[in-house]
Amino acid sequence: MAQSLTAIRSAAVEDPEVEAVLAEFDGDPRRAIRALLDDIAALAEDEPAETVLTLTAAILPEAQRPG
């Protein structure tokens, strides 16, 4: 059964890293998520595609590798 919103919020309260991110955005989870997604996108743009493909190939079992 899915966790209730209250249970999810209670779990988040116990995580200091989550609390720190939320505090940075005045407790607004949507702003915090958007900022984190923007950071991930910026990091992905900084990394050359060859590096990402090499890392992915190293992680995936051979049967799941593209190509």
The domain limits of the chain are 5-64
Nearest to 8 by CA among 37, 29, 31, 36: 29
For residues 15 and 17, give the distance between their C-alpha atoms in angstroms, rounded to a whole number. 6
**What pLDDT does 51 receive?**
62
Going residue by residue through the chain, which has 67 residues, state the pLDDT in tens, using 9 for 90 and above: 456 666 666 655 578 888 899 999 999 999 999 999 998 888 877 766 666 666 556 665 655 555 5
**What pLDDT does 1 receive?**
44
**What pLDDT does 15 receive?**
86
